[in-house]
């Protein structure tokens, strides 16, 4: 079992769409970034990559590479899902928090959870997303930016076949029986 955490922040600016959790949210400001700047999906991607020992999204999708300009972060998250599967891990769960004064995210949370689950080919019940304000404090409270945090737990595909505690317990199909 492996645990990962991710954090991301993007500045709010005029002239950009606000995309969070793969959902375009009506707002006067959007997030500035090389890709679509989806702060939530970037935090989730970093948590997953970290848990699998694969670095971070900057390592795999650098903002210096023109091919990621305007990239859809749901597609990047799906690629992260493939990477962790290829390394032999399965997603147990994801828990994430969006930190923003405005807009209100509650109406969009279920769709965000479904988007994450679909991109990673897991059940929506394995994804929990929350949103909070910072009561007017800090850069999120003054609406200069939006932050997101995420934690995840991964299990190794072969963990259930590992002997724990030394010895055969006589399970059916076991050669030591």
Annotated binding residue 133: yes
Q: Phi/psi class of residue 171: alpha, beta or left (left: φ > 0; alpha: ψ in -120 to 50)?
A: beta
Give the mean pLDDT of 77-99. 97
Helix, strand, or coil (residue 168): coil
pLDDT recorded at residue 162: 46
To the question of whether residue 65 is assigned a binding role by annotation, the answer is: yes
Q: Is 63 annotated as a binding residue?
A: yes
Q: What is the pLDDT of residue 88?
A: 94
Residue 98 labeled ligand binder: no
Per residue in 20-41, pLDDT (tens digit) is: 999 999 999 999 999 999 999 9
Known binding residue 72? Answer is no
What the block records as the tokens of 69 is 């300009």
- What's the pLDDT score for residue 165? 52
Tell me: is residue 82 an annotated ligand-binding position: no
Can you give 139-160 as a three-state secondary structure string?
Answer: HHHCCCEEEEEEEEEEEECCHH
**If you average pLDDT over residues 89-95, what whole number do you get?**
97
pLDDT tens, residue by residue, 131-148: 999 998 899 998 999 999
Class of domain 2-159: alpha beta
Rg from Cα positions in the chain: 19
pTM (2 d.p.): 0.87
Q: Spell out the domain ranges in the chain.
A: 2-159
At residue 173, the pLDDT reads 52
135 in a known ligand binding site: yes
According to the annotation, is 58 in a ligand binding site? yes
Question: Is residue 9 annotated as involved in ligand binding?
Answer: yes
Predicted confidence (pLDDT) per residue in 100-121, tens digit: 999 999 999 999 999 999 999 9
For residue 158, pLDDT beyond 90: no
């Amino acid at each position: 079992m492996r645990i990962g955490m991710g954090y991301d922040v993007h500045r709010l600016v005029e002239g950009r769409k606000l995309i969070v959790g793969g959902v375009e949210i009506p707002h006067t400001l959007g997030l500035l970034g090389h890709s679509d700047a989806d702060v939530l999906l970037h935090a989730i991607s970093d948590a997953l990559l970290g848990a699998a020992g694969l670095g971070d999204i900057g390592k795999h999708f650098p903002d210096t590479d023109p091919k990621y300009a305007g990239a859809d972060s749901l597609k990047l998250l799906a690629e992260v899902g493939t990477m962790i599967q290829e390394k032999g891990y399965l997603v147990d769960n994801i828990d994430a928090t969006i930190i923003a004064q405005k807009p209100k995210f509650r109406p969009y949370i279920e769709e965000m959870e479904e988007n994450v689950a679909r991109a990673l080919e897991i059940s929506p019940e394995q994804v929990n997303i929350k949103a909070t304000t910072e009561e007017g404090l800090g850069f999120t409270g003054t609406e200069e930016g939006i932050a997101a945090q995420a934690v995840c737990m991964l299990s190794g595909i072969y963990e259930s076949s590992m002997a724990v505690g030394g010895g055969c317990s006589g399970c059916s199909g076991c050669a030591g029986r």
